[in-house]
Amino acid sequence: MEVIIKATYEDMSRAAAQEVARILNTKPNAVLGMATGSTPLGLYRELVRMHRDEGLDFSQVTTFNLDEYVGLRPSHPQSYHFFMHENFFKHVNVPKQNIYIPSGSTNNYPSFCAWYEQRIEECGGIDLQILGIGSDGHVAFNEPGSSLTSRTRLKTLARQTIEDNARFFERREDVPIYAITMGVGTILEARELLLCANGKNKAWAVAAAIEGPVTGMVTASALQMHPHAKVFLDSDAAGELKMRAYYDWIEERRPGAPRYN
């Protein structure tokens, strides 16, 4: 796992956007895995800017979102459908028919989940999966106790996640209790993983994910099993890392490091 620590949220977002651009420059028809929440907002802003100012092209891109709340219509302002449209899709040129977001309103979840997995496979698998991390260490909505081989399925949100996400809703009772989410196994099949985290409230989860044991109790720790996982942090989120000095040292020495290609 590569750990890249930037001073600010903006720097972190710009560095993460460069990773997405790198993929698109080498593979214009890449399949991108998308995340929602407050963390990737800066990354999406930067990608939108690169599309507008530098011609970063999404016309051949396919996207699969990680998750969606159950029970919210796509037009609900807190649905992830709405979030993605407002913060990303309406500003770039991903073809509508190439956008996949789990349905929060299907009447057959098992068959929807199986179809979603099948579509990912038919599209050639995910080239780069963008991830955030919950304060309980979850990736997507794979809450503590999830299997590290899990696939797309319906999940009951942990109380901690409901508390954390209440800030987006008018009333705490409005936060959905269930979500449909890619599994940890699904995520681990992406060719590259890009996890971003910022803020002090993520410091514990980040340290547990990067430096703790691999465990279903902190599903982001499964990234340790992935051969191409990069973690971008701001300095607050890096606050509890024991090996911080080493990660900074690696970054410092990177320009002179031998290259494989």
Annotated catalytic residues are 67, 136, 138, 143
74 burial level (CB within 10 Å; 0-12, 13-18, 19+): middle
Q: Contact, 205 vs 237, CB < 8 A?
A: no
Nearer to ligand F6R, 35 or 229 (CB): 35
Alpha carbon distance 224, 101 (integer Å): 26
Nearer to ligand F6R, 139 or 210 (CB): 139
- φ, ψ of residue 113 to 5 degrees: the values are -60, -40
Q: How far is the CB of 165 from ligand F6R (least distance, A)?
A: 7
Q: How far is the CB of 117 from ligand F6R (least distance, A)?
A: 17
Nearer to ligand F6R, 58 or 69 (CB): 69
Instruction: Using the CB atoms, write b or e for 220-230: b if 16+ within 10 Å.
Output: bbbbeebeebb
Nearer to ligand F6R, 60 or 224 (CB): 224
Q: How far is the CB of 46 from ligand F6R (least distance, A)?
A: 16
Nearer to ligand F6R, 60 or 178 (CB): 178
Q: Contact, 16 vs 4, CB < 8 A?
A: no
Residue 163's contacts (CB-CB under 8 Å, 6 or more residues apart) are 172
Which residues form the interface with ligand F6R (CB under 6 A)?
Answer: 35-39, 66-67, 132-134, 138-141
For the chain, the first-to-last Cα distance in angstroms comes to: 19
Residue nearest to ligand F6R (CB): 132
Tokens of residue 39, six digits: 């963390």
- φ, ψ of residue 94 to 5 degrees: the values are -75, 125
